[in-house]
């Protein structure tokens, strides 16, 4: 069964640590602003040292990152952990974590942080939340899609919540842009799409993350999907979700083929793909071509250009939760239930 963390309450303490990348000094103001917004809303915040440093593609040596994460996870006064943002090489700390002793605690983030989210859920059966990172909470107002993260973290076992597709999304990043009214500059019309251009309704246990990083867990103890299904979700089908940050269309397709051939998709109800600034065409081969070929091979529903990943805003998707997703007329809805 899936174990869910206790609901986060106003007055609780949120821990900030950087298991992947820290924040360079010239962007420290983003951390201060985000912390101020959380404190204004009634939370306490404890910031770890790794948050403030960055060298050789990581916040600190792997031992220090793992140690600080462990300390925050074991600290009973910290109810949730939100890293500042993603990064590149979080995977190197995984062997330093004893997943057998982890107790449920909310962990929220995306990009390379999803490497940790994925591993915690697959190895320990603990629900984790793929959604906004800390620095994107620095505005006085949170857009309607992003703000749902707090509703999700406040849910109890047995409760459910519905999220709807955004109206508009952000097409490019500018961390120097003033956050008015939102951090994100939402200018482009959101349009969910499906392979075959047909309405879909699909349900299953959510699992996924940033394809660029979680794909490297395939063949490791942190990507043992068969054991996860047998041990924690009673062989229920997985509703996969993936977002892509840097792959070309052929990188994307090769990676999907690898996961398919490794057995990740053997008991799958459907796959959702987030919007991406990447997946560039190679000759005349596109990311849509890759998804069409996968759909033909697996014969399952596939939707794309969804509300998660590196083109925000994004849904908060809980690994391990039971979900029903409907996509029709370019819009989508997600009903997510905290089912053990």
What domains, with CATH codes, occur in the chain?
13-158 (3.40.50.10740), 168-337 (3.50.30.60)
Residue count of the chain:
340
- The pLDDT, as a whole number, for residue 176 is 76
pLDDT of residue 106: 98
- The mean pLDDT values, 10 residues at a time, for the chain of 340 residues are 98 98 96 97 98 98 98 98 98 98 98 98 98 96 97 98 98 81 95 98 98 98 98 98 96 98 98 94 96 98 97 98 98 98
pLDDT of residue 173: 85
Report the alpha-carbon distance of residue 314 to residue 89 in Å, rounded: 23
Q: So what's the pLDDT on residue 8? A: 98
Contact 43, 14 (CB under 8 A): yes
User: Which ranges of the chain does DSSP label H, i.e. alpha helix?
Assistant: 28-40, 62-74, 113-124, 148-153, 211-214, 225-232, 249-261, 287-298
Burial tier of 61 (Cβ tally within 10 Å: 0-12, 13-18, 19+): middle
HSE, CB side, 13 Å, CA atoms: give it for residue 165. Answer: 24
**What's this model's pTM, rounded to 2 decimal places?**
0.97
Is 285 exposed, middle or buried (CB count within 10 Å of its CB: 0-12, 13-18, 19+)? middle
Q: Compute the half-sphere exposure of residue 333: CA atoms within 13 Å on the CB side of its CA.
A: 9
Active centre residues (catalytic): 111, 243, 310
């Amino acid at each position: 069964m899936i174990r869910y963390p206790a609901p986060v309450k106003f007055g609780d303490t949120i821990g900030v640590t950087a298991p992947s990348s820290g924040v360079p000094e010239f962007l420290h103001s983003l951390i201060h602003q985000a912390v101020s917004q959380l404190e204004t809303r009634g939370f306490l915040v404890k910031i770890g040292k790794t948050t403030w440093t960055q060298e050789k593609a990581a916040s600190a040596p792997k031992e220090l990152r793992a140690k600080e994460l462990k300390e925050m996870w074991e600290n009973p006064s910290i109810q949730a952990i939100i890293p500042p943002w993603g990064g590149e090489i979080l995977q190197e700390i995984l062997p330093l974590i004893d997943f057998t002793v982890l107790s449920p605690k909310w962990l929220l983030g995306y990009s390379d942080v999803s490497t940790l989210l994925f591993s915690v859920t697959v190895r320990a059966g603990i629900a984790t939340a793929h959604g906004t990172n800390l620095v994107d909470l620095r505005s006085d107002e949170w857009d309607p899609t992003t703000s749902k993260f707090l509703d999700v973290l406040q849910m109890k076992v047995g409760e459910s919540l519905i999220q709807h597709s955004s109206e508009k999304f952000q097409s490019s990043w500018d961390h120097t842009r003033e956050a008015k009214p939102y951090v994100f500059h939402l200018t482009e019309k959101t349009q969910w799409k499906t392979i075959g251009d047909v309405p879909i309704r699909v349900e299953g246990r959510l699992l996924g993350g940033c394809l660029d990083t979680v794909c490297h867990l395939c063949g490791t103890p942190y990507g043992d999907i068969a054991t996860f299904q047998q041990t924690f979700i009673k062989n229920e089908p997985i509703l996969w979700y993936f977002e892509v940050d840097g792959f070309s269309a052929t990188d994307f397709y090769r990676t999907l083929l690898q996961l398919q051939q490794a057995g990740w998709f053997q008991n799958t109800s459907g796959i959702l793909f987030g919007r991406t600034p990447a997946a560039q065409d190679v000759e005349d081969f596109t990311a849509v071509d890759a998804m069409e070929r996968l759909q033909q091979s697996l014969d399952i529903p596939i939707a794309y250009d969804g509300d998660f990943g590196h083109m925000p805003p994004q849904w908060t998707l809980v690994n391990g939760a039971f979900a029903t997703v409907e996509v029709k007329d370019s819009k989508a809805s997600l009903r997510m239930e905290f089912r053990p």
